[in-house]
Amino acid sequence: MYSSIQDLIEQANTRKVPLSQIVLENEMALTDKTEQEVYELLERHYEVMAASAKKALEQPQQMIGGFISGVAARQYRYESPLVGKYLNDVMSMALSSSEVNASMGLVCAAPTGGASGVLPAVLLATAEKLRASKQQVLDALLVAAGVGAVITKNATVSGAEGGCQAECGAAAAMGAAAVVALAGGTHEACANAVAIALMNCMGLICDPVGGMVQIPCAFRNASQAVNAIISADMALAGLDSVIPADEVIEAMFKVGKMLPEALRETALGGIATTKTAKLITQSVSGDPADI
């Protein structure tokens, strides 16, 4: 059992095993599943992730309001002269899962439905770039799950409780650790990547327009997927987060508690209360817009 990122690392270092092995054994103990059963469940989850990350790349999804319908396809068709195919694919797949989620399609809530685009995009694009095997991807998913479990236990992954930093931010931290694992980085690099990813979005509010998980949620899935990649790359380069991951997680939780209610998924503040957002809300709900 482990209760913190440091605990997870120390156990892996002491036993000289991958982080995924510690998470696997913990999962087996908690669920009474065999190793094979855990991996079978992981593979099913990954298949759902892959399907949602690809579904809207060619076919726009229909949803109430339709404010993000087609964004994944447009991004995917774009040949970026700036970030290249890898990061463009990451953004496209994050947007795809966001479209699927908004259209009431099947997604893997890792850690939440609203942040369900980050981890699939990061895993799929990085696995393709590094030519990782299915086993390597599933082990990276285990590492991500371990990070998510620690954040859930010691802080929150709820936008209503901690803002978007707790949803897309936690997903970015999970994705960053997974990327480091896929790239063969050290246990310490995984922890640094988690800390850097959360630092990069500390204080990010949750302000869905009209209360719908579309705007700015889809864009934040894409941006936090990229955050996961660059955080992992900094950690792989040997950069030290300086502040330990567990302390950053604690800080994120405290910041979330400090956020006023209007900035925690209520659609009462931030982008959700702009003039245009109010008109959008009126058009969907039929209620008069207070502008």
Predicted confidence (pLDDT) per residue in 97-110, tens digit: 999 999 999 999 99
Among 3, 2, 19, residue whose Cα is nearest residue 155: 3
Q: What percent of the chain is modeled with pLDDT above 70?
A: 98
CATH of the domain at 61: 1.10.4100
Mean pLDDT value of segment 67-71: 98
**Is the pLDDT reported for residue 280 higher than 50?**
yes
Provide the domain count of the chain.
Answer: 1
Q: Is residue 291 part of a domain?
A: no
Q: Is residue 224 part of a domain?
A: yes
What CA–CA distance (Å, rounded) separates 202 from 249? 10
**Is the pLDDT reported for residue 32 higher than 50?**
yes
Longest Cα separation, the chain: 62
**Is the pLDDT reported for residue 290 higher than 70?**
no
What CA–CA distance (Å, rounded) separates 281 from 158? 23
What is the model's pLDDT at position 289? 47
Q: How confident is the model at residue 41 (pLDDT cuts 50, 70, 90)?
A: very high
Look up the pTM and report it. 0.96
DSSP secondary structure string, 11-56?
A: HHHHHT--HHHHHHHHHHHHH---HHHHHHHHHHHHHHHHHHHHHH
Q: Is residue 125 part of a domain?
A: yes
Average confidence score pLDDT of the chain? 97
Q: How many CB atoms lie within 10 A of CB 220?
A: 27
What CA–CA distance (Å, rounded) separates 122 from 226? 8
What six digits make up the tokens of 4?
A: 């913190």
Q: Is residue 290 part of a domain?
A: no
What is the model's pLDDT at position 285? 77
The residue segments making up the domain with residue 36 are 5-283
- In order of 14, 126, 181, 285, the CA distances from 129 in angstroms are 31, 5, 14, 43
Let me know: does 196 contact 57? Beta carbons within 8 Å: no
What is the model's pLDDT at position 27? 97
Q: How confident is the model at residue 1 (pLDDT cuts 50, 70, 90)?
A: confident
Q: What percent of the chain is modeled with pLDDT above 90?
A: 97
Q: Is residue 72 part of a domain?
A: yes
Q: Is residue 55 part of a domain?
A: yes
- 20-29 pLDDT, tens per residue? 999 999 999 9
Mean pLDDT value of segment 184-188: 98
**Is the pLDDT reported for residue 60 higher than 50?**
yes
Q: Is residue 288 part of a domain?
A: no
What is the model's pLDDT at position 130? 98
Q: Decide: residue 25, CB within 10 A, 0-12 exposed, 13-18 middle, 19+ buried.
A: middle
What CA–CA distance (Å, rounded) separates 126 from 287? 44
What is the model's pLDDT at position 43? 98
Among 84, 43, 96, 76, residue whose Cα is nearest residue 229: 84
- 218-243 pLDDT, tens per residue? 999 999 999 999 999 999 999 999 99
Among 211, 221, 225, residue whose Cα is nearest residue 179: 225
What contacts 133, CB < 8 A, 6 or more positions away? Answer: none
What is the model's pLDDT at position 288? 53
Let me know: does 190 contact 244? Beta carbons within 8 Å: no
- In order of 35, 100, 107, 121, 281, the CA distances from 51 in angstroms are 24, 9, 8, 11, 30
Mean pLDDT value of segment 173-178: 98
- Which residue(s) pair with 206 in the sheet? 264
Q: Is residue 216 part of a domain?
A: yes
